[in-house]
Amino acid sequence: MWLRLGIVAAAAACMALPMLAGYGVMSLTARDMFAQSTTLHLEASSASVAKAIDERLAQHLSHLKVWSSLPVMQNVLVADSGGEIARALQSIRANTNDFTSLTATDSRGKVIASTSDAERGADFANDEGFRTAASGRVFQSNFGHRRTDEPDSIWFSVPILASYDGQTVIGTVTGATDVRAVARSTLALLAAKSDRSVFVVVRRSDGKITFTSKIDAALFQAVRALGGKRSGFDEIDWKGAPHFVASSVTAGLGQVQDPGIAVHAIEPGQTVIAAAENATMYVTLAAVIAAFVVLGVAWQLSAPLAVMASAMDRIARGDTTAGGPTLPAHHPLSQMARSIEVFRRTRIVRDRLALREQELHRSAKDAEAAALAKAEHLASLSRELRTQLNTIIGLSELINTEVLRAASRLEYAGYAKDIARSGVQLLAVINDLFDLSEAEAGHSRLEDSDADLAEIVRGGVGMMSQAAERAEIALSCENCDAPFIARVDVHKLKQILFNLLSNAIKFTPEQGRVHVRLRVNADGQPTLIVEDNGIGMPTNLTPIALTPFTAANDTTHGRHGAGLGLPLVKRLVEMHGGTVQIDSEVGLGTTVAVTLPASRLVAAPVETEQRLIA
């Protein structure tokens, strides 16, 4: 009983502290969190409205440019008394409600057609918009109105160019855009207006309100206090309650200049407070329900726990007959009950555990040996790279000295050959390292095709013949005359052959021999064999030579390798589904056999196949 009560009390304590901490954090941060969310929403809303106004004004300017190039504007402007052009302007005005007026003038500024009665027959010769358009440029007015009876507008004047040369100004067309209508249609298109948010459009020059989605004198007064040039986030007091305000301004994109419009998005702060209070209430309610659920579960689970605690105590005292409670498989503590039975049987499996411990010790020693081999390989690779780099750097410095400048060209050629040789060797080491890294990472892919293995071997032997002659080594090939077709990656097979021949020549002393053979084994598998009578390697090191953690070194003969050739060969052969077998003995030479799957053998002459199998 005391154990059960202790478990329930501990569960209650574990829940109480996080719940109190969570409630405190929620109470302190909920308002700020919802206020930040509201701020981001308002800023995005005001910015989208300002951008949409910019885009709509730019669209109107684009329409005026298109209309000015219509044939009715270009071809009949001089001869027409204004009738056809007037009908065209009336049609345009009817289809675009944002324009308060559309006016066309001739090249002298006389109005020949207009949708506004006040402008018909007027003379725009002294109007700034006409003069700008008459010079061939587009004019955009400041945000305001030309007459007191007009709404706040922005008007554009566009030149009408003669169709015969596209340069001569024969008239102008002017469109006055009602900013209030633009704002209204913009809010309707964006569906930005809601029951909570209010949008106000003002002139940035003086803060005068042009449009508001809600008419309220107190709101107008609060917005005027903000001014028209501000952008960002602020708070105002409206009807005795705080309201959040996010402001954005137009940029004049696609227009001649910035129209000077500011958009204020307003939302009551009370919604933020209510949302924070609701969130806190829901969190508290959920926490209370969770507390009752957890306490009930803790009480139910504590009964089998008490039984299992007693059983564990008896087993620890040596009573292996004691067992835990029998629980159904779906019970949360069924695994713990099974663990007690496992604990009871630990004495029986103690010997097995001891054997396993020995195996783990052997694995640890093997891992240490592998780590040591890897360190030795890195040291050998560093020595190989450093040797080639030192040769290149040393010879390069000799070429730059004053003494070598007086040397003969033959000496230069010798140094240059040494530099080239060292560079080629260094490049080969780096290429092998990259190829092995790509193969180990699984980035290398086979590109299989039907190829003649005999031809590939003949080519490889021919390519390495000069290196063998320089080393005074006899290089020969057996069974390389008859066609031997297999499906392989030609490039990778050549790389396998090159690495095997390079290693054989490198570790074979003068007057030695390197022999290459092609054959089909008893299982019908194509096999490539490279054997030499070189320095060989200890039998216990032949498996390690196929891993990139050791280097094939022979300090006695002064030969060093990067240790990447055989590991790369093994990886490329495994990609073909084949195997690599090394037979070697110190002082007697090395034989490397590359065996490919029988499925890769496409065809071979009957007599050749019989001879090779025999």
For 152-208, the DSSP string reads: SEEEEEEEEEPTTTS-SEEEEEEEEEEHHHHHHHHHHHHT---SS-EEEEEETTT--
Give the strand order in the sheet containing 579-585. 474-478, 513-520, 526-532, 589-595, 579-585
Question: In which band, very low, low, confident or very high, does the pLDDT at 193 lie, cut at 50, 70 and 90?
Answer: very low
- The number of beta carbons lying within 10 Å of the beta carbon of residue 149 is 7
Question: In which band, very low, low, confident or very high, does the pLDDT at 481 lie, cut at 50, 70 and 90?
Answer: confident
Which of 42-56, 193-207, 301-315, 476-490 is predicted least confidently?
A: 301-315
- Considering only residues 118 and 12, tell me which one the structure prediction assigns the higher pLDDT: 118
pLDDT of residue 556: 39
pLDDT of residue 553: 45
- Location of structure tokens 């139910």: 300
The candidate with the shortest Cα–Cα distance to 35, out of 332, 311, 234, is 234
- The number of beta carbons lying within 10 Å of the beta carbon of residue 515 is 17
Q: What is the SS3 assignment for 479? A: coil
Given a cut of 80, is residue 450 above it in pLDDT?
yes
| Portion of the chain with pLDDT greater than 90, in percent | 14
pLDDT of residue 19: 63
Given a cut of 70, is residue 59 above it in pLDDT?
yes
Whole-number mean pLDDT of the chain? 76
> Encoding tokens for residue 195?
């029951």
pLDDT of residue 580: 93
Task: Tell me the residue type at 232.
Answer: G
d(CA 201, CA 222): 13
pLDDT of residue 293: 73
Region label for 188, one of left (φ > 0), alpha (ψ between -120 and 50) or beta (otherwise): alpha
The candidate with the shortest Cα–Cα distance to 268, out of 197, 363, 362, is 197
Residue 238 Cα distances to 115, 261, 326, 541, 594, angstroms: 41, 23, 70, 88, 88
d(CA 242, CA 254): 37
The 10s digit of each residue's pLDDT in 558-571 is 444 556 778 888 88
- From the number of C-beta atoms within 10 Å of its C-beta (0-12, 13-18, 19+), residue 120 rates as middle
- Location of structure tokens 């029986």: 348
- Considering only residues 519 and 326, tell me which one the structure prediction assigns the higher pLDDT: 519
The candidate with the shortest Cα–Cα distance to 287, out of 597, 26, 66, is 26
- What are residue 236's DSSP bridge partners? 243
> Encoding tokens for residue 129?
């918009």
Given a cut of 50, is residue 557 above it in pLDDT?
no
pTM over the 0.85 mark: no
Reported as type and span, the H/E element at residue 102 is: strand 99-106
> Encoding tokens for residue 180?
């209030």
> Encoding tokens for residue 285?
């309610």
